[in-house]
Chains A and B, each alone.
Chain A
């Protein structure tokens, strides 16, 4: 989309460099022209077109139209027998999603000649759950040069009714497609289109493979996603993909019965814990943790204990990293749980522990404020500490603690002065804060 982190040069080229660029442009445009030519003729069943998309996407995975062409190749080609009916409205680029498309004019009646697969070079076995899906297949076809037809292909054509052979071939194609995108994903981990293509492949699995085989693919994707998150914990594409997979797995688990639902939930939960250990309970990881425990189920005592444990976790983090904003957001969120109790039922529904007593809440608040004040002994110049102290001091007011409030007023002004000194960039915010402090 844009240049990020690339050093500025003087933007002038030598004649030789210019010539090199022109050569590259020539090759790139030739490839693009050939693809456009096929597309104009709707030659999606032609394996040559599929190979051309391989070449072009390796040069430029951001070229979204080419990913679409590749999808249409799969649908109109090897996967057409069972997938054509599902996606026939997408078999040409300018068809709208309107319901007026007539199934009878889909133009993709499965003929043997249209069923040439995109050279599935891998052995047709489903990936091992949680392991093999993360490594590109060694036999992945190279740069589209390997245009020879799979030897199994002839046999398959003769025996089109053989469901098992179809499943094996489709499995191999999907596997080969997933493998194709892995090096691209590693090089361009923030490319929306690559992630989108992988989701598409998963939906293909669901549409044409038996449930068990499809599920193996989803589970393997979870493992790949974990690897991507290990490389970059903040990659929101990977997090988004993860939510997509987990929710799909959970919804299939639900239809399988309650026991497996529980098993599935705890699997994803422990997986989450492994990716987002206590060192980083902010960010997306925290968001996901939050999602898990606001789903309900536990009784009041368990909920209170849970809140207590999470606060302790956050505090442990703050003791060693009081400058971590994400941690403070998480802490703030937990404190909101303490402060907001007693709000209307609608709000209470979303709370971790909606039935805390006033005494419980005061105890939580007292403890946190005391602990945070202790932080100042080691970190007198960390502004986030003063901000939190002010925030929570205001919470006493919200809880109707007028006594504590009066005692706090002077202390609060001292913290505010310190905030202004430590963080002059946001003085406009401190001005507003001061106004609201004095207004009460």
Chain B
């Protein structure tokens, strides 16, 4: 990694600024945007906290207040909403479980929350027992994001037995396409985000046998554009968040070397706001915590020095998944 030291200052990771940026996120209550994004609050805590762990500053957000907030979002039925008063949904339930996993607080869920069993039941009840896929909530919208989320959270809690894994795997196979990728639903165009969710779900249950690794790796590696950034689909613009969706997928099929590492480092680092912290979708744009996390996970997957290792399947630090699940492989 010697060549990184030779990079100009603006291409060094602005660790201190990023930590400060994430810490400042909850003090922006005088900004309209803070309120417009309340429906993402619990996700935001997960994004920010995971980023801080990667930056090796896990204590930068107060643990007790984090647990209090997470539990304040839980409903009687075990599911979590984005914030107190927001309806329960798979997306926030998964974030809640991930946060509790990250800060080793499942015991608090038992003591002060509704308990793992209730969370597991909420998630399992969202499986479509006919097709194997999952809905996001009681209103029934289904896609592979929810299936992955269910596998992620249930496996972290040791409750995968509550769902029909075989049916879910069959559904994922039905979402595969002729280019080796996966779509939102059967027949839908391949998309990096959905490729991540499908591959990660298959990884969690050890069912990668149907993956066409060479074909998929080819498609994924073609996401890298001349400026080093990755796009999500052919003929689309690059975006820092695909540093996660594309790269984690390549990692799951052992092909991260099929793209140019230093070119992607350069692209992600050019998207930093080195002064005020945070990472944006493209150089010169507004930063947000979502792109900040996925910029950092991209750097971590490629072994950028000084960052904690990210688990490409769970999007949690490897130290967290190893503590909970033991060493996989």
Contact = CB atoms under 8 A, between A and B. Distances in A.
A and B bind: yes
Interface of A: 1-9, 11, 18, 21-22, 24-25, 28-29, 32, 36, 39, 59-60, 62-65, 68, 71, 89-90, 93-98, 192, 196, 199-200, 203, 234, 236, 239-240, 243, 282-284, 287-288, 290-291, 324-326, 329, 332-333, 336, 424-429, 432
Contacts of B29: 25
A199 B40 CA distance: 23
B287 A3 contact: yes
Those 4 A-B pairs whose CB atoms lie nearest each other, nearest first: A96-B77, A428-B257, A284-B189, A2-B290
Contacts of A62: 36, 39-40
B222 A325 contact: yes
Given A8-B286, A68-B139, 15 more contacts: A3-B287, A5-B282, A6-B286, A9-B286, A59-B36, A60-B39, A62-B36, A62-B39, A65-B87, A94-B87, A96-B125, A96-B138, A283-B189, A424-B260, A425-B259
B285 A426 contact: no
Contact of A3 (B139, B140, B179, B280): B280
A138 to B, nearest CB: 29
A287 B183 contact: yes
B219 A8 contact: no
Interface in B68-103: 75-79, 81-82, 85-89
A239 B239 contact: no
B45 to A, nearest CB: 15
A63 to B, nearest CB: 5
B199 to A, nearest CB: 18
A60 B189 CA distance: 28
A199 B136 CA distance: 14
Contacts of A234: 233, 235-236
Contact of A89 (B35, B138, B222): B138
Interface of B: 29-32, 35-36, 38-40, 75-79, 81-82, 85-89, 121-122, 125-126, 137-141, 143, 177-179, 183-185, 187-189, 191, 217-219, 221-222, 224, 226, 228, 233-236, 239, 241, 255, 257-260, 263, 273, 276, 280-282, 284-288, 290-291
Contact of A65 (B86, B218, B236, B276): B86
Contact of A336 (B77, B78, B178): B178
Nearest to B257: A428
A290 B138 CA distance: 33
Contact of B141 (A8, A24, A96, A199): A199
B288 A93 contact: no
A94 B259 CA distance: 46
B250 to A, nearest CB: 10
Contact of A8 (B32, B226, B273): B273
A429 B221 contact: yes
Nearest to B92: A64
Contact of B87 (A22, A68, A290): A68
Contacts of B76: 94, 96
B281 A4 contact: yes
Contacts of B81: 65
Contacts of A29: 35
A71 B288 CA distance: 31
Given A9-B286, A25-B35, A95 B177 contact: no
Contacts of B143: 240
Contact of A291 (B35, B187, B285): B187
Contacts of A22: 30
B189 to A, nearest CB: 4
A71 B260 CA distance: 48
B189 A236 contact: yes
A309 to B, nearest CB: 17
B292 to A, nearest CB: 10
A380 to B, nearest CB: 19
A425 B217 CA distance: 14
Given A9-B286, A60-B36, A36 B189 contact: no
Contacts of A25: 29-30, 32, 35
Contact of B125 (A1, A36, A98, A243): A98
29 contacts: A1-B40, A2-B288, A6-B286, A8-B280, A8-B286, A21-B32, A39-B85, A59-B36, A62-B39, A65-B39, A65-B81, A65-B82, A90-B138, A93-B75, A95-B77, A95-B138, A196-B139, A196-B141, A199-B141, A234-B236, A243-B187, A283-B235, A287-B177, A324-B234, A329-B179, A332-B179, A425-B259, A428-B257, A429-B255
Contacts of A333: 178-179
A192 B259 CA distance: 31
Contacts of B260: 424-427
A241 B32 CA distance: 32
Contact of B139 (A90, A239, A425, A429): A90
A242 B89 CA distance: 24
A13 B287 CA distance: 17
Contacts of A199: 141
A192 to B, nearest CB: 7
A21 B189 contact: no
Given A97-B125, A283-B189, A428-B259, A3 B281 contact: yes
